[in-house]
Amino acid sequence: MALIAVTGASGKLGGATIRFLLQRKVAPSDIVAVVRDPAKVAELATQGVQVRRGDYTDPKLLESAFRGADKLLFISTSALGEERMLHHRNVVSAARDARVGHVIYTSAIKPAPDAKFGASPGHFHTEVLIRESGLPYTIFRNNLYLDIVPFMFGEAVQTGKILHNGGDGRIGFVAREDIAYALSAVLTGGDHANREYPITALAPYSLSDVASALGKASGKNVSYQPISSDEFRQGLEAKGLPAPIVAMSVGLGEAIRAGEFDAGSTDLERLMGRAPIGLEAFLRKVLAPK
């Protein structure tokens, strides 16, 4: 069986992917969990998963962690800007030097060097690095997680209104678990070399759709009211949110309005072999009384 290495294995996406790999009967010894702190995946080690220390700031350590890997799931770092590119250059360089057989990278939907979404330029440039490395690759261009909807818009259940600067933009929200399941499928079979997959909903959702789904899932009346970026910023500042969070939230809204997440595709369904969970079903599950 191929040796599969997973970076960010202590994170939610990496951890879920490893869980699905095990469910697909991949031998634990054929999985390498690459983490900065091995203590965080001690449970995986007890199951027989190989745990190797790797740090995005240390290319030699990464090279050692990647040795022997036939496939590498490269989960993007949480850093942005030049720090992200430093991390990602180290990963790609280490993968090349370790002679990894195939790199699967988690990118973003519609990556562009001049995107309003703060993470998008880094993904664009990382995709270039991967192609230039000469390594076989598969790129998952992930849309925003359904998992963030309750955090972005959950208070509307109490207020009855989503006030946002996203305008008429639409988002192809997808669940993190569904992405992990699709990643496990790609890591264990099929010809996916040198392909890019838009990992997004079958059809994207407007913010009015989000309001409607929140209302149906909670049994409350929820509506959407578009506001300007200045109004949105002022509202966030009035809540006492830190300046970086305010800037990120306003920028995300402007990216939504610009159509940077407006994408639909059947690729995720095809890779999973079943339909991904939709917005309303996800919210019913999350907002159900405990």
Which tokens in the block code for residue 88?
């990602």
Q: Is residue 184 part of a domain?
A: no
Q: What is the mean pLDDT of residues 60-84?
A: 93
Q: How many domains, the chain?
A: 2
Is the same domain home to 102 and 209?
no
Domain boundary, last residue among 142, 157, 192: 142
CATH number at residue 152: 3.90.25.10
Q: Is residue 192 part of a domain?
A: no
Local structure of residue 202 (DSSP, 8 states): S
pLDDT at residue 190, as a whole number: 86
Gap between the Cα atoms of 157 and 198, Å rounded? 31
Is the same domain home to 151 and 83?
no
pTM summary value: 0.95
Domain region containing 231: 144-175+200-262+274-290
Give the residue with greater pLDDT, 286 vs 185.
185
Tell me: pLDDT of 133 over 70.
yes
Local structure of residue 9 (DSSP, 8 states): T
Going by pLDDT thresholds of 50, 70 and 90, the confidence category of residue 278 is very high
Tell me: pLDDT of 289 over 80.
no
Q: Which of 145, 286, 289 is nearest to 214 (CA)?
A: 286
Q: Is residue 170 part of a domain?
A: yes
Q: Is residue 69 part of a domain?
A: yes
Is the same domain home to 88 and 229?
no
Domain boundary, last residue among 142, 165, 184: 142
Q: Is residue 130 part of a domain?
A: yes
pLDDT digits (tens, 9 = 90+) for 210-259: 999 999 999 999 999 999 999 999 999 999 999 989 998 999 999 999 99
Largest Cα–Cα distance in the chain? 56
pLDDT at residue 290, as a whole number: 57
Of the chain, the percentage scoring pLDDT greater than 90 comes to 91
Is the same domain home to 241 and 118?
no
Gap between the Cα atoms of 10 and 119, Å rounded? 21
Is the same domain home to 213 and 122?
no
53-57, 102-106, 154-158: the lowest-pLDDT one: 154-158
Is the same domain home to 33 and 73?
yes
pLDDT at residue 288, as a whole number: 72
Q: Is residue 117 part of a domain?
A: yes
Q: What is the mean pLDDT of residues 104-108?
A: 98
Domain boundary, last residue among 98, 126, 142: 142
Q: What is the mean pLDDT of residues 180-197?
A: 96
Is the same domain home to 233 and 286?
yes
pLDDT at residue 287, as a whole number: 85
CATH number at residue 95: 3.40.50.720
Amino acid at 226: P
Going by pLDDT thresholds of 50, 70 and 90, the confidence category of residue 79 is confident
Going by pLDDT thresholds of 50, 70 and 90, the confidence category of residue 55 is very high
Tell me: pLDDT of 102 over 90.
yes
180-184, 199-203, 228-232, 245-249: the lowest-pLDDT one: 245-249
Is the same domain home to 228 and 116?
no
Q: Are 160 and 103 in contact (CB under 8 A)?
A: no
Burial of residue 176 (number of CB atoms within 10 Å: 0-12, 13-18, 19+)? middle
Is the same domain home to 135 and 237?
no
Q: What is the mean pLDDT of residues 193-210?
A: 97
Q: Is residue 185 part of a domain?
A: no
Is the same domain home to 122 and 167?
no
Q: What is the mean pLDDT of residues 121-130?
A: 96
Burial of residue 247 (number of CB atoms within 10 Å: 0-12, 13-18, 19+)? middle
Beta strand pairing call for 161-164 and 137-142: unpaired
Is the same domain home to 157 and 75?
no
Mean pLDDT estimate for the chain: 95
Gap between the Cα atoms of 125 and 61, Å rounded? 23
Q: Are 32 and 73 in contact (CB under 8 A)?
A: no
Q: Is residue 119 part of a domain?
A: yes
Residues contacting residue 54 through CB under 8 Å, at least 6 positions apart = 7, 34, 35, 36, 61, 62, 64, 65, 66
